[in-house]
Homo-oligomer: A and B are copies of this chain.
């Protein structure tokens, strides 16, 4: 994460470490890979169409941000998520990537997200942004929820549908939880977005997890144009909260 020189530094953030997080020695046995590259320009058409500068520097606000982030280290091994995050954040901030292999705990969505960010920050010895996606089935009282990845990998689109065939309610909620941890020993901050839809038989391209079976207003995520999806998706809603927090001085 690169910080421009500012009158104040971000509490808990060592600028040298955060700028050079990717160069830190491997710690705690965590495997660290890095994909470099800026979201800026990767989808130039989004610069104008999706740029939302008022979020980063609110014109209605006289408050000046404490600092300007020009690059964020997003911890993920999922190229599709990285592409989607760059599509949403790429017009206002460079999204760098590190892949850190940390075990996830069992628990609530929030407990899992916070623990993951803590461990990632320890592994890279600097600020870490992590993302967790959950898919809550209303009929299953929120499950598989944070365990959706295992269920998707084991059952696929048809199996996930069959799990609901015994119930009337096919409602579901896509939940994205970003957790930002300033560094080792710091308490992570949560940014969560939710989109309500329903589980349907697969429609659309099948290259992105459960997108083909999650329907929102008549279209599955997989059927949507990427720009359209990025304006309503659970991930976009969470990222908007993250942008807003950045713009308002991380208070």
Contacts and interface: CB of A to CB of B under 8 A. Distances in A.
Interface stretch (A40-48, A69-77, A91-99, A135-143): A135-143
A141 B163 CA distance: 12
A37 interface: no
A106 B162 contact: no
Interface in A123-149: 139-143, 146-147
A142 B151 CA distance: 10
Interface residues of A, number: 26
Contact of A143 (B142, B146, B151): B151
Interface in A153-204: 154-155, 159, 161-167
A146 B166 CA distance: 22
A20 interface: no
A150 interface: yes
Contact of A154 (B103, B107, B142, B166): B142
A115 interface: yes
Nearest to A151: B143
Nearest to A145: B150
A227 interface: no
A105 interface: yes
Contact of A150 (B103, B104, B106, B150): B106
A247 B107 CA distance: 37
A150 B105 CA distance: 13
Most chain B beta-carbon contacts within 10 A, residue among A106, A142, A151, A159: A106
9 contacts: A103-B115, A106-B106, A106-B112, A106-B147, A140-B159, A143-B147, A143-B150, A162-B166, A162-B167
